[in-house]
Structures are given as structure tokens and as C-alpha cells.
Amino acid sequence: MNSNSLGTVLRWSFLIIFASYGTVLGQAQKPKRNLLFIGQAKGYQHEAISTAMSTLYNLGRSSGLWNTMLRTDCTAITKKPLKWEAKNLDAYDAIVFFTDGDLDMEASQKADLLSFVRDDGKGFIGIHSAAITFTSWPEYGEMLGGCFDGHPWGQFNAPLVVEDAKFPGLVHFPAEFSLFDEVYQIKGFSRQNVRVLMSLDAGKLDLTRKDVKRTGNDFAVIWAKNFGKGRVLYNGLGHVPAVWERPDFQKMWLEMVQWSMGLIPGDATPQPKPGK
């Protein structure tokens, strides 16, 4: 090989290495999003909370998309500076509540939580018993889209219907399927305010149960909604720990968390119940 040819090869090799290094460096410097997971239980102690925490933590880490802060207290839910360099709401892109009861939050913290979503354009995810959290705080119920009104069927093979397969995470399920889990009956819920993504098939439910209260045979399980500038998602599944081990369930969460952070699009415009 003559000197000219060798020089050309070296120049091209240098350019390829430099370009590759620049790509890797750019990926390494791309900031991850931050997720705050609150697992405080002030009532029923859900065994699945720890499983849910580890699942979302591992999904964020393995995908490289987000870091997860796991807390069983509510100290971080504030916009006030915290001692010892602890992070407050300003550090996070979305919050997850797998909680129940009246959490340890002062009035200013409640206001900061609402502002985090409504004014700052961040995300809020309520899992299962988030619907039985702050049931006497109307603004929380308004943000979430509804609240707990019993679970007439307990843990059972829930007949589920995917209403919006185009929404992030739902393409991984068939149009209709059953899942052994516990699903809440929700009150204060209206399709005029939320976009239902998954519901129970009322035609396969025992509606003669004495605790069935909702009229219209409309039992939403998962929904999304806009709240001011922000995004809210309620997912009523996940009471049974084994559900969190399912690959389709984990794929759903990988995409739903991204939606809550504004990383991927998804239409949360309310729509009527689809006809048969």
C-alpha cells in the first residue's frame, strides 16, 4: 500500500471512530427523566406495592429512560427547598402513587402536587389503590378522575376489554382477555372527563352482587386525562403481585410511564363508550 492510500485509510478510520465516539458520547450525555414513586400506605397494606416499585425501577434502569426514586413517605412532594440536598418536586418529571388512605401531606404539599401537574405540565400516575387515597379531598379526586366505591367481585378472573389499542402500552394485549386481579368500582367518574383505555366487560360480570352500585354498566379500569398542562393516568390493575411479573404488563408500563413524562404521544381526549 502506498503512502497516499495509507493516508486515505487512516483519515477514514479516524472519521468513523470520531463519529462513533460522538454518537456514544451524545447518548451518554442525554439526560434521563426522573420518576418519583410514592408507596405510602395509611390503610390497607398492599403486598404488590414493593413488586410495583421494583418493576418500574428496573424498567427505567434497563431501558435507560428514567431514574426512579422510591419513597414510603411524602417529604419530596413539595416545591420548598429541603434540607441536606434532598430532592423536591422540581427534580421530577412524573409521580406515581401506589398508596391508600390520607397520606402525610400538609395543605401546602397538596397545593404543590396539583400545581406540579396542572401548572408545570408534569405527569401523575395512580395505580390501583391510588383511587382510595385522599377520598375526602375533592381536588385530588378531580385530578385523578374518580375514586374508590368498592370491589364487588374481589379477586377474580376479570373480563377486560381494550378500548383504545393505539394508546401507549395497550397494543400488547388482545382486544378482549381475562386477568386474575382485583378491580375497583369507581365513583365520580365520567367519560366526559377522561379517555377510557380499558374497561370490564359488563356482559360477563355478575351484576346481581349487592355491592354493585354503578349504573349504566360502565366499569372503567384504565383511563387517561389531561389536567391543565399535565397528564394523568389511572391504572386500576396490579393488586395481585403476580400480575407485575407478566411480560405484557411490563411492556404496558414501559410505554405508559413514557407517556406520563411526555416522551411519547398519546391521545387523552375524552370519548364516549364504544358501541358493540
CA 5 to chain centre: 57
Between 13-17, 167-171, 221-225, the lowest mean confidence (pLDDT) is in: 13-17
- The model's pTM is 0.88
pLDDT at 213: 83
pLDDT at 274: 87
Query: Comparing C-alpha atoms, which of 40, 158, 33, 21 is closest to residue 97?
Result: 40
Contacts of 156 (CB under 8 A, 6+ apart): 180, 182
Between 2-11, 13-22, 140-149, 213-222, the lowest mean confidence (pLDDT) is in: 13-22
pLDDT at 276: 60
Looking at the predicted structure, is the pLDDT value of residue 178 above 60?
yes
Mean per-residue pLDDT of the chain:
90
pLDDT band at 30 (very low <50, low <70, confident <90, very high): low
Within a 10 A sphere around the Cβ of 146, how many other Cβ atoms? 23
pLDDT at 181: 97
Contacts of 13 (CB under 8 A, 6+ apart): none
pLDDT at 7: 47
Q: Which residue has the cell 389503590?
A: 129
For residue range 102-116, what is the model confidence (pLDDT) as tens digits?
999 999 999 999 999
Task: Give the C-alpha separation, 168 to 197, whole Å.
Answer: 10
Average pLDDT over residues 249-271: 98
Q: Which residue has the higher pLDDT, 80 or 13?
A: 80
Looking at the predicted structure, is the pLDDT value of residue 12 above 60?
no
Average pLDDT over residues 30-39: 90
Looking at the predicted structure, is the pLDDT value of residue 238 above 50?
yes
Contacts of 10 (CB under 8 A, 6+ apart): none
Query: Comparing C-alpha atoms, which of 57, 126, 124, 48 is closest to residue 89?
Result: 124
Average pLDDT over residues 28-38: 82
For residue range 35-79, what is the model confidence (pLDDT) as tens digits?
999 999 988 788 999 999 999 999 999 999 999 999 999 999 999
pLDDT at 239: 96
Average pLDDT over residues 23-36: 64
Average pLDDT over residues 210-219: 85
